[in-house]
Amino acid sequence: MMPVSTREVLDEENFMSVFEARRLIEGRYGKLIPEPEFQTNGPASYYQIPGRHQRVGFIGAMTNLHFCESCNKLRLTCDGKLRPCLGSYLEFDIMKPLRAGASDEELKQFFLDVVDRKPEQHDFRDNYKPGRKMVAIGG
Ligand code: SF4
């Protein structure tokens, strides 16, 4: 579960770690084979299922404390806020510079400044309630 909601959704009852999910899958299909070279645009870690042409990816946002280390994502909301992280309250109004006629160079700098503000880690573990549903944040 990715705990992004306008209300608290995560508790001890519904949390399952990546380790537990892997244990359950491996109990049925055999030991999963890590594929560290296989990358997509998201933060999943992929594994090959032995003897099958399928792979499975795990997104361990709540399991792995270093989950955010390789994140390259920005999110743009439909009301013009650029957010450097899905799991943070930070957002920056890109409509202002756009409406003020910012140049391409100024907009590039705006994006770079937002990238600079990417947090080292998300706030999911601190009862994060972003005030927007995930679908309104993007991603
Ligand atoms: S920094 Fe934010 S957007 Fe990036 S992986 Fe972490 S939680 Fe997701």
Q: In this structure, is residue 69 part of a structural domain? A: no
The answer as to whether 131 is a domain residue is: yes
pLDDT band at 114 (very low <50, low <70, confident <90, very high): very high
Q: Tokens 């998201």 sit at which residue?
A: 42
**Is 125 among the domain residues?**
yes
CA of 71 to the centre of ligand 1 (A): 6
Which residue CA neighbors atom 4 of ligand 1 most closely? Answer: 71
| 73 pocket-lining for ligand 1 (C-beta < 6 Å) | yes
pTM of the model: 0.77
Hey, how many other C-beta atoms are within 10 angstroms of the C-beta on 101? 7
Q: Which of 32, 58, 84 is at the close of a domain?
A: 58
Instruction: Tell me if 83 sits within 8 A of 90, measured CB to CB.
Output: yes
What is the count of structural domains for the chain? 2
Residue 96 shares a structural domain with residue 130: yes
- Whether residue 126 sits in one domain with residue 95: yes
Closest by CA position to 77, among listed 26, 114, 106: 114
Asked if residue 130 belongs to a domain, the reply is: yes
CA of residue 25 to ligand 1 center, whole Å? 26
> What confidence tens digit (pLDDT) does each residue in 2-22 have?
777 777 777 778 889 999 999
Higher pLDDT, 120 or 109: 109
Residue-wise pLDDT tens digits, 45-71: 999 999 999 999 998 888 887 888 878
Ligand 1 site, residue 68, Cβ cutoff 6 A? yes
The range of the structural domain enclosing residue 50 comes to: 18-58
